[in-house]
């Protein structure tokens, strides 16, 4: 089963940056995609925002 949302820890693993960077990036993506605070950021949205291939992102978070 694949999950849809991305967490700060996933961003930390993918980018090699800190957990705080992941939390801040999720906040920026929510602003960019005009989401409310209770809505999630999907893996596809993360890949689009970062200019990455979604399948590559999925491989790195499993």
Residue 3 belongs to a domain: no
Q: Is 42 helix (H, G, I), strand (E, B) or coil?
A: strand
**Residue range(s) defining the domain that contains residue 44:** 8-61
Residue 52 belongs to a domain: yes
pLDDT digits (tens, 9 = 90+) for 44-60: 999 999 999 999 998 88
Q: Is the pLDDT of residue 13 over 80?
A: yes
Residue 19 belongs to a domain: yes
Q: How confident is the model at residue 62 (pLDDT cuts 50, 70, 90)?
A: confident
The answer to whether the CB of 50 falls within 8 A of the CB of 17 is no
Other C-beta atoms closer than 10 Å to the C-beta of 21 total: 14
Q: How many CA atoms lie within 13 A of 10 on its CB side?
A: 19
Residue 14 belongs to a domain: yes
Q: Is the pLDDT of residue 5 over 70?
A: yes
pLDDT at position 2 is 77
Residue 37 belongs to a domain: yes
Residue 28 belongs to a domain: yes
d(C-alpha 32, C-alpha 59), whole Å: 25
pTM of the model: 0.90
Domain count, the chain: 1
């Amino acid at each position: 089963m694949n999950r849809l949302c991305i967490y700060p820890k996933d961003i930390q693993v993918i980018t090699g940056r800190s957990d705080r960077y992941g939390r801040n990036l999720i906040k920026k993506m929510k602003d960019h995609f005009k989401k409310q605070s209770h809505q999630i950021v999907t893996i596809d949205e993360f890949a689009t925002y970062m200019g990455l291939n979604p399948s590559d992102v999925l491989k790195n978070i499993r």
